[in-house]
């Protein structure tokens, strides 16, 4: 009797399509038998039907994800319905003012461009860099004429060049004066010497009223120059610094005299380093043409203009992604907690589900229902990783 029950259950499982999983197919002939052409045709049809059903399921998952995103945005913004603001009204209300442009420039409003953050996760272990002081060194001979200028080249690590510069100050020590004088400080960007001679380009100049008998440290805002160097490292050949008083004396310490040790120019840089690192467990990432049947993350771009949501100022579209695929029981070795729950309550669970296991927020600039411009961060809007749970 127990054997009969076992066979009955086995037949029920086969009839329900369990043979479509990665388990051995009990309906196939033994390995020693050669399948007929008709058998191969049936297998091809089954494979095609399986792929077709996966496509239908994926399309349903995509539609459901889009509807969920729309309802989540309204819910998380505490809006009962989308503000009734047309594109024409937006153009009338949207101020062309510096504060708004600064807001758009300062914050990361995710667009169509693929982001490296998709392959990163929060790093809660390693130390982060906040400030860096870089001392000046001698420039390359390519920018010198007869060994001049002897200063100043600043070398940066690749790691630092991928950080966000919050503040950068160039510090220059000015030699003491015997009497009050007006000092003209110049910073020149060095370029390789050509047949026409040196082509140093002035990038900063300051007029300083100086009255210091003991020397003076002068700071110069260097953020813009440094940002350009980080974006285009090949343009960093160094700088030349001079500070002439009214008598034509250069007070800037660029080549050290006896007793001037430790007074060479330096850069003080404050940075915002990303606290992310490469993900160790990426999960599966697929594209729309993938034949993968397992749980996978698929690309999905949400276009707010296609929704008719003109009340959202930025972003106009963003990459949301979605999860779709099968979660077979044989993969439960990777998810022991879920597997134990399945055994403890087999009737109360429909099996593991392909679902987001890591999500990230997006920044949004939008009009609320009172026609006020709001900037906020909406959590859980981008699927970073999918898994079975």
Q: Is residue 297 part of a domain?
A: yes
| Per-residue model confidence (pLDDT) at position 30 | 38
CA dist 167 and 163 (Å) reads: 12
Q: Are residues 281 and 378 in the same domain?
A: yes
* Domain boundary pick from 274, 308, 324: 274
- Answer whether residue 231 is part of any domain: yes
Q: Do 267 and 290 share a domain, yes or no?
A: no
Evaluated on CA atoms 186, 192, 195, 201, the torsion sign reads negative
Residue 237 located in a structural domain: yes
Task: Report pLDDT for 62.
Answer: 87
**Model confidence over 93-140: pLDDT tens digits?**
776 655 666 666 665 565 444 444 555 556 556 666 678 888 898 999
**Strand partners for 185:** 206, 243
Rounded to whole angstroms, the Cα distance separating 284 from 104 reads: 33
Q: Match 């370029």 to its residue by tokens.
A: 191
Assigned domain for 41 exists: no
- Enter the DSSP assignment of 35: P
Looking at the fold, whether 176 and 113 belong to one and the same domain comes out as no
Q: Are residues 184 and 254 in the same domain?
A: yes
Q: List Cβ<8 Å contacts ≥24 apart for 112-117.
A: 112/301, 112/317, 112/319, 114/319, 115/319, 117/276, 117/360
Residue 116 belongs to some domain of the structure: yes
What is the DSSP track for 299-347?
--EEEHHHHT-TTEEE-SEEE--EEE-B--GGGGGG-HHHHHHHHH-GG
Kindly state whether residues 270 and 136 are assigned to the same domain: yes
Q: Are both 104 and 189 inside the same structural domain? A: no
| Structural domain includes residue 11 | no
Residue after which a domain boundary falls, among 274, 298, 323:
274
CATH assignment of the domain containing 159: 2.60.40
Examine the domain organization and report whether 341 and 286 are in the same domain: yes
Looking at the structure, do residues 374 and 332 belong to the same domain, yes or no? yes
Q: For residues 279 and 120, give the distance between their C-alpha atoms in angstroms, rounded to a whole number.
A: 5
Residue 70 C-beta-side C-alpha neighbours within 13 Å: 15
> Whole domain around residue 356: which residue ranges?
53-122+277-388
What's the confidence (pLDDT) of residue 337?
A: 47
This prediction has a pTM of: 0.46
Tell which residue, 158, 132, 161, has the closest CA to residue 231: 161
C-alpha angle 50/51/56, rounded to 5°?
A: 95
**Co-location of 75 and 136 in the same domain:** no
300 & 359 share domain: yes
CATH code (residue 283)? 2.10.90.10
Q: Which residues are 201's β-sheet partners?
A: 189
Which residues have a Cβ under 8 Å from the Cβ of 193 and sit 6 or more positions away? 142, 143, 144, 145, 199
Per-residue confidence (pLDDT) for residue 334, from 0 to 100: 47
Q: Going by C-beta distance under 8 Å and a sequence separation of 6 or more, which residues neighbour residue 106?
A: none
Q: What's the chain look like in SS3?
A: CHHHHHHHHHHHHHHCCHHHCCCCCCCCCCCCCCCCHHHHHHHHHHHHHHHHHHHHHHHHHHHHHHHHHHHHHHHHCCCCCCCCCCHHHHHHHCCCCHHHHHHHHHCCCCCCCCCHHHHEEECCCCCCCCEEEEECECCCHHHCECCECCCCECCCCHHHHCCEEEEEEEEEEECCCCCCEEEEEEEEECCCCECCECCCEEEEEEEEEECCCCCEEEEEECHHHHHHHHHCHHHCCCEEEEEECCCCCECECCCCCCCCCCCCCEEEEEEECCCEEECCCCCCECCCCCCCCECEEECCEEEHHHHCCCCEEECCEEECCEEECECCHHHHHHCHHHHHHHHHCHHHCCCCCEEEEEEEEEEEEEECCCCCEEEEEEEEEEEEEEEEC
Q: Is residue 174 part of a domain?
A: yes
Query: Looking at the domain assignment, is residue 90 inside a domain?
Result: yes
Give the pLDDT confidence score for residue 338 in this predicted structure.
45
Each residue's pLDDT, cut to its tens digit, for the chain (389 residues) gives: 444 334 333 333 343 343 333 333 323 333 334 444 434 333 344 445 545 566 777 888 888 999 999 999 999 998 989 998 888 887 777 766 556 666 666 655 654 444 445 555 565 566 666 788 888 989 998 888 888 888 999 998 888 888 889 999 999 999 988 888 899 999 999 998 887 766 778 888 999 988 877 888 999 999 999 999 999 999 999 999 999 999 899 999 998 888 888 888 999 998 887 655 555 556 788 988 888 888 999 999 999 999 899 999 888 899 999 999 888 764 444 444 444 444 444 444 456 889 999 999 998 888 888 777 888 889 999 999 999 98
Q: Which residue, of 251, 274, 297, is where some domain finishes?
A: 274
Does 269 lie in the same domain as 295?
A: no
Do 78 and 212 lie in one domain? The reply is no
Domain total of the chain:
2
């Amino acid at each position: 009797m127990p054997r009969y029950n076992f066979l009955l259950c086995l037949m029920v499982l086969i009839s329900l399509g369990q043979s479509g999983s990665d388990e051995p197919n009990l309906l196939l002939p033994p390995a020693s038998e050669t399948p007929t052409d008709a058998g191969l045709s049936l297998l091809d049809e089954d494979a095609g039907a399986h792929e077709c059903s996966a496509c239908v399921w994926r399309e349903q998952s995509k539609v459901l994800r889009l509807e969920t995103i729309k309802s989540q945005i309204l819910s998380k913004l505490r809006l009962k319905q989308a503000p009734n603001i047309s594109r024409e009204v937006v153009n009338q209300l949207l101020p062309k003012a510096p504060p708004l442009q600064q807001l758009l420039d300062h914050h990361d409003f995710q667009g169509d461009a693929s982001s490296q953050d998709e392959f990163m996760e929060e790093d809660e272990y390693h130390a982060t860099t906040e400030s860096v002081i870089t001392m000046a060194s001698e420039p390359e001979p390519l920018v010198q004429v007869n060994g001049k200028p002897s200063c100043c080249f600043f070398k940066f690590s690749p790691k630092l060049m991928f950080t966000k510069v919050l503040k950068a100050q160039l510090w220059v020590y000015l030699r003491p004066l015997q009497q009050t004088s007006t000092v003209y400080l110049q910073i020149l960007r060095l370029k390789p010497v050509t047949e026409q001679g040196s082509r140093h380009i002035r990038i900063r100049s300051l007029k300083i009223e100086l009255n210091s008998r003991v020397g003076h440290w002068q700071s110069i805002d260097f953020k813009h120059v440094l940002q350009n160097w980080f974006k285009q490292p090949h343009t960093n050949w160094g700088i030349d610094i001079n500070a002439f008083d009214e008598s034509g004396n250069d007070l800037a310490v660029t080549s050290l005299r006896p007793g001037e040790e430790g007074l060479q120019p330096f850069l003080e840089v404050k940075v915002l380093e990303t606290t992310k690192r490469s993900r160790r467990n990426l999960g599966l990432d697929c594209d729309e043409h993938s034949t993968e049947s397992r749980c996978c993350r698929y690309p999905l771009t949400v276009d707010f203009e296609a929704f008719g949501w003109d009340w959202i100022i930025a972003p106009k579209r963003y990459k949301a992604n979605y999860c779709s695929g099968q979660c077979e029981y044989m993969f439960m070795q990777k998810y022991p907690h879920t597997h134990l729950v399945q055994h403890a309550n087999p009737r109360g669970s429909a099996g593991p589900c392909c679902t987001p296991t890591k999500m990230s927020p997006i920044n949004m600039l939008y009009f609320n229902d009172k026609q006020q411009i709001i900037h906020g961060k909406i959590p859980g809007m981008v699927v970073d990783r999918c898994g079975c749970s």
